[in-house]
Each structure stands twice: as structure tokens, then as C-alpha cells.
Structure 1
Amino acid sequence: MLAHLHPHSLLAVDLDGTLCHSEYWGKGTPKPIKENIAIVKKLYFAGYHIVIYTARNPSFRMVTEHWLQKNGVWYHALVMGERKMGFDLLIDDKAINSKDFFDGNIWKQIMR
């Protein structure tokens, strides 16, 4: 499943439910999932291209960028809205199960 991944692969990482405890942006400030953020940072420094990929409305861009910076999320780009994009792997609480990716140590397989 992950054999095609290598440093410089494009990893799209969902925000809500994956990097923060939030299903809906707009109510309060979501709490970070620190363990997942730490793994994304490791992947970033290992050479993977990290794109934060969220369905949030682009009108929340500044607030979202502030949250990412405040919580130490390392990334190359932020894609917001319903825009489609190509990627090598999508890490999302509704696609590849983010719990399996982070807690099941799937992320370690691509670091080899």
C-alpha cells in the first residue's frame, strides 16, 4: 500500500478530526492533537511535502493559518474549500483512517 511513497511524496493531511479535535470550525478554538502534529513535523523534516487539506471555507484562512502556526504545524501549503487536488496519500478521518495512520504506526512504514 505505501511502497510507492518516498521523501518528496505529496501528503495531504486533513485538519478537523485529524490534527485538531473539531468536527466543525467556527465554534471556539479547537484543541490540537499533539501526537499527530508531532508526526506530521517528523514527516515534514524527512522531506515529505505536507499539504494541509481542509473543507473549511476559505474565509477562515487567516484564523486557520494562525491556529496552525500557534500549534506548531509544519506544512508547505494550505488548501481550503472543496477544491480537488492530486496527492500521493490522503490522511483524513474520513479517508485513510487517521487513527490507523498515526496510532497504528503506518507513518513509520513510509519513513523507512
Structure 2
Amino acid sequence: MATENHQLHTAFNEKGETISPLLPETVKNFLIDIDGTICDDIPNEEPERMGTTLPYPDALKILNKWYDEGHVITFFTSRTEEHREITEEWLKKHNFKYHALLMNKPRGGNYHWIDNHIVKATRFKGKFTDLVVQTHEIEVFKE
């Protein structure tokens, strides 16, 4: 796992108060699921499969490309803390480049993420490719 730091920019709200720092506009901060996204879907109830599944080749290629381009890669998984070691070993064995690994993502899908930062979501549909811009309806808070 990489330990390099990205140049964070100090950010301010409309009152001039300091808020959470921001990455440069050219750097994307990717949160990427593991099971069913970069490899076959393996439930926590079958941890013996976690060390033997193979990564999706297109996922490995694209994610490492994004990493090499300077983007932040964080894996965000429903695997529990007890699966951290086998998960880190698997990522290392298959040469995934990444910055962080977050465990214990809520299970069940159908996520509704609320944040004070801009959040973009991309649903994985079976193949990693370069991203393209499309416009879709989204839910927002009523004014």
C-alpha cells in the first residue's frame, strides 16, 4: 500500500472559516468496492474464498493506471476487520496499487450517501474502462 501524500488545498466556507481540505481539481478520490467489483462477489460468510479468487484483469489495469496518474485509490469493502489481513495480502499478491483500505462498509447495497462534499457515484456493471461523462437525474435536498 502506498504511503504518499497528496497536496491538499486549504478550503474555506462562505464565512471564511476553514473547512476540510480539498484535493487539487485534477485529482479524483476513488472509493472502490472489492467483492463483485474488482473480483468475484465473495460473501463474508465464505472467507476461505477471499485468498484464492482472481482479480478482474480490466479492474487491475484501470485502477493501477488511475493510481499512476496521481488519483487517490481507496478500497471500501463490506469485509469485516477480521478479514483485513487476508484482504491486504490478496491486494498485494495481485499488485493492486492503492492508498487506503476501509473495512465494514454497510452490507445490502442501495446506498444513499449524504456528504458536505461533491459525491459522484458510478455503478459497476461488469467491466472497468476509462470513465465518460453522462448526465442523469439525481435526488437532492429540497430547497
TM-score when scaled to structure 2? 0.58
Which amino acid in 1 is paired with 2:68? F
Q: For residues 51-99 of structure 1, what are the alpha-carbon distances to aligned partners after superposition, in whole Å with 9 as ceiling and x for unaligned?
A: 0110100111110000000011110000000378x68545xxxxx2213
Which amino acid in 1 is paired with 2:81? P
The structure with more helix, counted as a fraction of residues? 1
Which structure would you say has the larger RCO, counting Cα contacts within 8 Å and 6 or more residues apart? 1
Q: Tell me what 2:32 maps to.
A: 13
Is the partner of 1:15 in helix, strand or coil? coil
Unaligned runs of 5+ in 1: 91-95
**Alpha carbons of structure 1 residues 89 and 70: separation in structure 2 relative to 1, 3 Å:** farther
Q: Tell me what 1:68 maps to.
A: 91
1:1-112 correspondence to structure 2 within 5 Å: 6-25=25-44, 26-28=47-49, 29-82=52-105, 88-90=119-121, 96-99=122-125, 102-103=128-129, 105-106=130-131, 109=132
Q: Provide the aligned C-alpha RMSD in A.
A: 2.8
The alpha carbon displacement at 1:102 in A equals: 1.8
- 2:37, 2:126 within 8 Å by CA — same for their partners in 1? no
Structure 1: distance between partners of 2:70 and 2:120: 14
| Higher Rg | 2
- 1:20, 1:30 within 8 Å by CA — same for their partners in 2? yes
Paired-residue identity, %: 28
The structure with more strand, counted as a fraction of residues? 1
The alpha carbon displacement at 1:42 in A equals: 0.3
Structure 2: distance between partners of 1:36 and 1:22: 14
The alpha carbon displacement at 1:35 in A equals: 1.0
Structure 2: distance between partners of 1:16 and 1:102: 14
TM-score when scaled to structure 1? 0.72
Q: Tell me what 2:18 maps to.
A: none
How many correspondences in the alignment?
A: 98
